[in-house]
Amino acid sequence: MKTYTTNLINWLDKRYNIKEIIGFITEKKVPIYKHTIWYYMGGITLLFFIIQVLTGILLLLYYRPTPEEAFESVQFIMTQVHYGWLIRSIHSWSANLMILFAFIHMFSVLLLKSYRPPRELTWVTGVLLMYISLAFGFTGYLLPWNELSFFATKVGTDIAGVIPFIGKFIIRFLRGGEDVTGATLTRLFGFHVAVLPGVIIVILVIHLLMVQRQGMSKPIGLKEVKKGMLFFPDFFLRDLLGWLFAVGILAALAAIFPWELGQKADPFSSAPEGIAPEWYFLFMFQTLKFFPARILILDGEVIAVFIFAALGIFWILIPFLDTKARREQKSPIFTTIGIFAILYVGIITILSYFVFK
Partner 1 sequence: MEERNTSRKSFINYLLGGGFTLVAASFLYPIVRFVLPPKSTEAEPMAVSAGKVGEMHLNSGKIFKFGRKPGLLIYTEQGEYQAFMATCTHLDCIVQFRNDSESIWCACHNGYYDLNGNNISGPPPRPLERLNVFIKDDDIMVSKIT
Binding site for partner 1 (CB under 8 A): 151, 154-155, 157-159, 169, 172-173, 176-180, 183, 267-275, 288-289, 291-294, 299-301
Q: Which residues of 53-84 are buried (b: 16+ CB within 10 A; e: fewer)?
A: eebbebbeebbebebebbbebbeebbeebeeb
Q: Which residues, 6 or more positions from 317, have their beta carbon under 8 angstroms from its beta carbon?
A: none
Of 159 and 204, the one with the shorter C-beta distance to partner 1 is 159
Closest CA to 334 of 347, 323, 322: 322
Residue 183: CB minimum distance to partner 1, A: 6
Residue 264: CB minimum distance to partner 1, A: 15
Of 105 and 175, the one with the shorter C-beta distance to partner 1 is 175
Residue 65: CB minimum distance to partner 1, A: 16
Amino acid at position 35, single letter: H
Amino acid at position 178, single letter: E
DSSP codes joined into one string, 45-85: HHHHHHHHHHHHHHHHTT---STTTHHHHHHHHHHTSTTHH
Of 78 and 142, the one with the shorter C-beta distance to partner 1 is 142
Residue 148: CB minimum distance to partner 1, A: 11
Residue 334: CB minimum distance to partner 1, A: 33
Of 20 and 68, the one with the shorter C-beta distance to partner 1 is 68
Q: Are 81 and 267 in contact (CB under 8 A)?
A: no
| Per-residue CA distances from 205 to 69, 83, 117 (Å) | 35, 32, 20
How many Å is the Cα radius of gyration of the chain?
Answer: 23
Of 178 and 328, the one with the shorter C-beta distance to partner 1 is 178
